[in-house]
Structure 1
Amino acid sequence: MEPETTHRPAAPARDPVAPRRLRRLAVAPEGFGSTTVARCVAAMTALGLLARLARYAQGLPFWSDECFLASNFLGRGFLGLAKPLDNGQVAPLAFLWVERAAVLALGFSEWSLRLFPLLCGLASVVLFAFVARRALSGPATAAAVAIFAVSVHPIRHAAEVKPYASDAFAALVLLAPALAWLERRDGSWRLWLLLGLLPPCLAFSNPAVFAAGGILVGLAVPVWRTGRAKERGALVCCGLMLAGLTLAFHMGFGASQSAAAIEGLRRYWSPGFPPLDEPAKVPGWLLGALTGSVFAYPGGGAKGASAATSLACLVGAIALARRGRGAMVVALSAPLGLNLIAAGLQRYPFGPEARLAQYAAPTIGILAGAGVGTLLESIRRPRLRRAVAIAGLAGMVACAIVPQVHSWRHPYRMPHDREAREFARTFWPELSRDAVVACAHLDFGLERPGTWQGQRAWYLCNQAVWSPSRRAGGPRLDEVSDDRPLRCVLFNEDPSRPEIAAWLARMRSDYRLRSTREIPVRSTFGDQGRIVVETWRVYEFTPLPSKAASVPTNPGEIPG
């Protein structure tokens, strides 16, 4: 009788691509089937879209940074925006041109100037869901989408006249083909697509250079290991393209644009630079930076308030690396490393505010989502795991809703933002009754030395929104008469200044000064409620009996 033998099935042939996919497609824990995850992703994506639309629909008044940038669209055409900006502002040229086009097409308003950032914010939510599904699986995907969708900063910046929303969108546009190639590694066309996306992304976002550089660092080793000439050639072309764009946008245009503002920016950014002159303080600074506002997703802040998110990112990075996704971890985290290098060179801060690092929002969303997914998988009891997941989703919903409710109840960033708009909303229409209204600054070129407008930026932007004359293209000086006088507004200037006296002398050569009126306006500045009195002066002119006005019919017209 023959001895009994045990027959075992032969091991399947090893597929070099399959292990990568299997490591990504980890089996979802009980209670988190693919249908449940898909529903959570769809619900969080919809919530993110609604939150951004709700923020935009509130129509909040311009706040300081918006005014400082938006005032540049009042007196400049497209070519003028290529020159150094007023108020120490630095912004990518493509973003400036899109905003200028919005003003030409839709007029100057909160709605028109915030439309492009809104579109970037909405597109980012949808694209992030696509990218997260490429990078993660199971509950990690839902967690990542939820974190990105409801985070305070991406929602806020999707309704601001600043390029922060386009920073996040540009980073996502670059990540999409890169992560798709890392998943499949089945051809070069995605790398060529990445090459084609580099110019527009860097034209619309200055910090996108960190995202692009980090992505190429993450792709370098996997692409080279393929041994295929097409992939290697595409990657080399991407590197050369990035180098050329960096020279053009940052060493060329960017250096010219920021030349006058760079010292002021460095002072403002100084908390985001490591104290290299005091090496003993560098570890503490680094710990604070890596647990501070840069990682404030879905919420958080400075001084370690974002430590939980930082820890989740660390857990997620380790988990992904252990599952064979090390190249993806490098592509996601290397942009932060490049930002740290730039901070050490005092070229760009690492923090201290989340808005300056919106390019990192996709990275933090994916890594934190992976960390949350790993922590959920570590909970062995299915009912407890499900309860924790439901509580987490409820918390995410609250993160999306609570800030919007607060914003509806307090519709302004700072008290002066609201005060400036409310005053302008009544002042300009009332001043325009039976009169031609002009601005001494915009219509008669009365400028103060330098490029810092300060409080005048609020005045200019709110005038552009609420003045009937400004919305109509500027004052019609040929309509000035005794019955319809010219009322010219001078904002917060000392009338004894030589420039003001010279302007009044020129005006009196064409008009008779009928009256002067001073309007003191109390304004609240800063978190401490500092009261500042702004003085608005209204000069009312009528034509001289023997001389017609010699100024242009429409001096407020802006060149295209």
Structure 2
Amino acid sequence: MEPETTSQTRRSGEPASVAPSRSRPRRRIIASRGESTSTQVTFGPADPRLLNRGVWAFIALGVVVRMLRYAQNLPFWSDECFLAVNFIRRGFLELAGPLDNGQVCPLAFLWIERAAVLAMGFSEWSLRLFPLLCGMTSVVLFERVARRCLSGLSLQAAVAILAVSVHPIRHAAEAKPYASDLLVGLVLLAPAAAWLDHREGPRRLWILFCLLPPAVAVSNPAVFVAGGILVALFWPVWRSGRWKDRGALTCCGLLLLGLFAIFHVGFGGVQSAAALDGLRRYWGPGFPPLEDPLNLPDWMLSALTGSVFAYPGGGARGASAATFIACIAGSVTLIRRGRGAMVVALTAPLGLNLIAAAVQRYPFGPEARLAQYAAPGIVLLAGAGVGSLLETVRRSRLREALIYAGVVGLVACALAPQIMSWRRPYRMLHDREARDFARSFWPEVSRGSVVACAHLDFGLGRPGAWEGRRAWYLCNQAVASPRRRASGGPRLDEVSSDRPLRCVVFDEEPSDPEVIAWLARMRRDFQLRSTRSVPVRSTYGDDLRSIVETWRIYEFTPASLRVADPVAIQGDLER
């Protein structure tokens, strides 16, 4: 059995791959019987200052690449548009109801994004600012959490993997809650790791108690992280024999149950009522085939070697198998060094996710973005695994060559996707085409007129329905239309014969009953002067099929010499 390496030994230049627990009386007794404390294998550079510089170099790299990704200002892609369209016309209270496009999103995240729109306007910059801050904070905080259980090259490997991983970088520049899921996972893990490291007093458990409400409010999968942590802490806290610690952990458990009832059963139930059936079809590959047990092992193997473990890169169909193997090696290493409770804290959230997938409430495996909450645990285990595997390489030159090759590969992993996105600045070609057309169309149609959107300003269409490609139209209009940016909508009191009202209808046939009803309402106060169509060709889908979207411009003038009353028109429309 390998004896405990004290913090003094580590500072003196003998970096250990895994930092041992600081509270292990049994191990101290073994060491006192004469077993040497110098059996740790030293691999790589022996100077801890050099190792520390490497850690901070990768932290800096991680922050920089996230800022670069944000600075590219890529056009909204489908996942962002479907959520972002809800911030155009909804207030804070309205965001608590069912969302358009079948979206399910934590309430606090919705309110933060809405506040960003009110403060800075509706744009890619404002909606992606909070995810960017979450992404950069995660890189820095991860180093503090990792030091609780790793040291030496294992620490450096873990920090480097998180800093350069493709998915955390990408999601730190997207208007979705994936970056905040990762940060919340770290925030909850930090006090738990600190308590497991010291096991002294309930203070850190009460910190965890205070962090639970904002964490669950801003991240839906935070319940997996919190539940896994409480499972991991239960036995060590009970064995401590301190009732203050037991009481604090019990309060954490009761609070988590209450928060689950409020945010998932209550608010989440209302929000997902209309969307859950569609989400279940979309998430289908992430649900275990319980009705076909013979296929369950294949499904499980595919899930555990797929996108969930794509750090620093990887994907479906076993492309992340290397990371999964490294996690197994890291788990074994931590357990052998007396950190079994920490392993449970890192892996139990995935187990709870599997249970949720079994009852078809949350998927496991189809896409890495849905499992960003698990990234800290996976990367910590992978880093410990890399350190333990390097420890088996006895030839120093070969070991150093592997280390330097790994550093070069990790740096390339961070930079290559950013270079590719500069050359191909969009997720789907339709994203760029839709934004480019909106940037030219809305300023042009606004010249000498009052511009309105039939969908946003006059209620054309069904609220709460699936928007489809209209989501791109609405989001890019909110960004590119000068009138909407300046005042949020048209000033109907400015309409005159010299300054007509131009109302835009997106991809709706004039013969549609909803369009006919809308025109009838408009003719109460306006006279239709002209209509023209603008066919817009675009490339849609991964198969790059060509489509045509028709934008129709209806031009109105006042029906009488007096200017139409916008309040009266809006009242008629609402009736």
TM-score normalised by structure 1 residue count: 0.94
Instruction: Name the SS of the counterpart of 1:362 in structure 2.
Output: helix
**Does structure 1 residue 352 correspond to structure 2 residue 366?**
yes
Give the AA of the match of 1:84: P
User: What does 1:98-247 align with in structure 2 at a 5 Å threshold?
Assistant: 98-247=112-261
The residue aligned with 1:257 is: 271
The residue aligned with 1:431 is: 445
**Does structure 1 residue 525 correspond to structure 2 residue 525?**
no
Confirm or deny: 8 A CA contact 2:304 2:365 kept in the other structure.
Answer: no
The residue aligned with 2:340 is: 326
Confirm or deny: 8 A CA contact 2:44 2:403 kept in the other structure.
Answer: no
Within 1, Cα distance between the matches of 2:170 and 2:26? Answer: 40
Q: Which moved more, 1:510-519 or 1:50-59?
A: 510-519
The residue aligned with 2:9 is: none
Structure 1 residue 542 displacement after superposition: 1.4
Within 1, Cα distance between the matches of 2:209 and 2:387? Answer: 32
CA separation of 1:447 and 1:24: change in aligned 2, threshold 3 A: farther
Confirm or deny: 8 A CA contact 1:117 1:166 kept in the other structure.
Answer: yes
The residue aligned with 2:432 is: 418
Confirm or deny: 8 A CA contact 2:216 2:259 kept in the other structure.
Answer: yes
Confirm or deny: 8 A CA contact 2:101 2:464 kept in the other structure.
Answer: no
Structure 1 residue 472 displacement after superposition: 1.3
Give the AA of the match of 1:405: I
User: What does 1:279-290 align with in structure 2 at a 5 Å threshold?
Assistant: 279-290=293-304
The residue aligned with 1:544 is: 559
**Does structure 1 residue 304 correspond to structure 2 residue 294?**
no
CA separation of 1:188 and 1:449: change in aligned 2, threshold 3 A: closer
Within 1, Cα distance between the matches of 2:52 and 2:561? Answer: 79
Instruction: Name the SS of the counterpart of 2:451 in structure 1.
Output: strand
Within 2, Cα distance between the matches of 1:24 and 1:172? Answer: 32
Instruction: Name the SS of the counterpart of 2:208 in structure 1.
Output: helix
Listed one character per residue, the Cα deviations across residues 463-495 of structure 1 (whole Å, up to 9, x for unaligned) are 000000101121111111122111110001111
CA separation of 1:510 and 1:133: change in aligned 2, threshold 3 A: same
The residue aligned with 2:327 is: 313
Match of 2:51 among 37, 58, 61: 37
Structure 1 residue 27 displacement after superposition: 5.7
CA separation of 1:212 and 1:24: change in aligned 2, threshold 3 A: farther
Report the count of equivalent residues.
Answer: 542
Structure 1 residue 509 displacement after superposition: 2.3
Confirm or deny: 8 A CA contact 2:104 2:272 kept in the other structure.
Answer: yes
Confirm or deny: 8 A CA contact 1:477 1:552 kept in the other structure.
Answer: no
TM-score normalised by structure 2 residue count: 0.92
Listed one character per residue, the Cα deviations across residues 355-410 of structure 1 (whole Å, up to 9, x for unaligned) are 00000000111000000011111111112111110110110000000000000000
User: What does 1:378-389 align with in structure 2 at a 5 Å threshold?
Assistant: 378-389=392-403
The residue aligned with 1:484 is: 499
Within 1, Cα distance between the matches of 2:561 and 2:113? Answer: 45
CA separation of 1:406 and 1:149: change in aligned 2, threshold 3 A: same
Structure 1 residue 18 displacement after superposition: 6.2
Give the AA of the match of 2:314: G
**Does structure 1 residue 507 correspond to structure 2 residue 504?**
no
Within 2, Cα distance between the matches of 1:31 and 1:547? Answer: 83
Confirm or deny: 8 A CA contact 1:31 1:382 kept in the other structure.
Answer: no
Say what the alpha-carbon RMSD is for the aligned residues. 1.8
Structure 1 residue 553 displacement after superposition: 9.3
CA separation of 1:20 and 1:255: change in aligned 2, threshold 3 A: farther
Instruction: Name the SS of the counterpart of 1:472 in structure 2.
Output: helix
**Does structure 1 residue 70 correspond to structure 2 residue 45?**
no
Instruction: Name the SS of the counterpart of 1:74 in structure 2.
Output: helix
The residue aligned with 1:7 is: none
Give the AA of the match of 2:512: R
Listed one character per residue, the Cα deviations across residues 309-365 of structure 1 (whole Å, up to 9, x for unaligned) are 000000000011011111100110011111111111111100200000000000111
Instruction: Name the SS of the counterpart of 1:412 in structure 2.
Output: coil
Instruction: Name the SS of the counterpart of 2:567 in structure 1.
Output: coil
Sequence identity of aligned pairs in percent? 69
Within 1, Cα distance between the matches of 2:38 and 2:311? Answer: 24
Instruction: Name the SS of the counterpart of 1:379 in structure 2.
Output: coil
Match of 2:422 among 388, 408, 411: 408
Confirm or deny: 8 A CA contact 2:495 2:563 kept in the other structure.
Answer: no
Confirm or deny: 8 A CA contact 2:69 2:170 kept in the other structure.
Answer: yes
Structure 1 residue 153 displacement after superposition: 0.3
Instruction: Name the SS of the counterpart of 2:519 in structure 1.
Output: helix
**Does structure 1 residue 451 correspond to structure 2 residue 465?**
yes
Within 2, Cα distance between the matches of 1:270 and 1:510? Answer: 50
Confirm or deny: 8 A CA contact 1:477 1:554 kept in the other structure.
Answer: no
The residue aligned with 2:99 is: 85
The residue aligned with 2:7 is: none
Confirm or deny: 8 A CA contact 2:135 2:180 kept in the other structure.
Answer: yes
**Does structure 1 residue 293 correspond to structure 2 residue 303?**
no
Instruction: Name the SS of the counterpart of 1:552 in structure 2.
Output: helix
Q: Which moved more, 1:85-94 or 1:23-32?
A: 23-32
CA separation of 1:286 and 1:545: change in aligned 2, threshold 3 A: same
Confirm or deny: 8 A CA contact 2:122 2:478 kept in the other structure.
Answer: yes
The residue aligned with 1:374 is: 388
The residue aligned with 2:356 is: 342
Structure 1 residue 554 displacement after superposition: 10
**Does structure 1 residue 267 correspond to structure 2 residue 267?**
no
User: Which structure 1 residue ranges, 5 or more long, are not aligned?
Assistant: 1-14
**Does structure 1 residue 475 correspond to structure 2 residue 490?**
yes
Confirm or deny: 8 A CA contact 1:510 1:547 kept in the other structure.
Answer: no
The residue aligned with 2:65 is: 51
Within 2, Cα distance between the matches of 1:391 and 1:64? Answer: 37
Within 1, Cα distance between the matches of 2:135 and 2:490? Answer: 37
Within 1, Cα distance between the matches of 2:418 and 2:338? Answer: 40
The residue aligned with 1:10 is: none
Structure 1 residue 284 displacement after superposition: 0.5
Within 2, Cα distance between the matches of 1:24 and 1:381? Answer: 19
Structure 1 residue 447 displacement after superposition: 1.8
